Structure 1
């Protein structure tokens, strides 16, 4: 019953499952009610994006990469995309093996900029 409540996508369904739990085991229901639903119930999760990158940017970048493969037959298209992805994964893996620092360059640059900004404020 708890799993059904946790995986319910609508608050109405969540409440229905919680009522079933309450009818079955009042003590378990009270224990669960002490925990805030936004931390464990899908129906109460925020739908606000967790990332500042829009999904559309990913789609546009992917479509640009597979542009030559899109007009091929399905098997050939899928094989072309597979080869492109394998090459990309290999290149990224090589970059990771060459990386020796504790913090990646782009994050280090952001930290340096924030440090400069704090210095000018104080």
Structure 2
């Protein structure tokens, strides 16, 4: 049984994604150019299939060879448009790095990873104790930044919790928001668990706080529960 077969049997519900930065670095070795780079990242960030297809069609117009390079790359592994939304994670990059330990013998490498994770867990617990908001600090910053763009949209009530959101000026778009189901047709809310700009527009219409509509995963209590386990120190090789 190969590694992928074992992985599928051990973690049958796990979603396999690529780091788009690494994917693009492999791509640009044969297909350099700022225009191609922008289209690839636009396709990766597209949250719905229509937008993904539009960016890939533009890529094909610009370079048939560049478009062909992606044909054996499953978009479910590198574009938000095809990500499952159960995990509430829309991350495109793998920022966990063991570069300082990669050239070490296996025991030394694992000890380095253990030490880093032990300190990381502890620092996260300390940081969480200082939070006073309904959601973790990073999520609050995202909400605040997204809220600045909400004035570019208008909310039209269709029901108590259902809204049509229309863009103003250059944001000439329409989306349907259901505050009860925590969904928007742009799919960004479902992917991240954080209300998108369209949802925030509807929430403002109801004069409510956007943080109240965040997923439970993003609450300090859940965060603390995730980082509560302690990775205990170990003795050195001489012992």
Q: Could you state the TM-score of these two structures normalised by the residue count of structure 2?
A: 0.26
* Larger CA Rg, structure 1 vs 2: 1
Q: Could you state the TM-score of these two structures normalised by the residue count of structure 1?
A: 0.46
Larger strand fraction of residues: 2
User: Larger RCO: Structure 1 or Structure 2 (Cα < 8 Å, ≥ 6 residues apart)?
Assistant: 2
Larger helix fraction of residues: 1
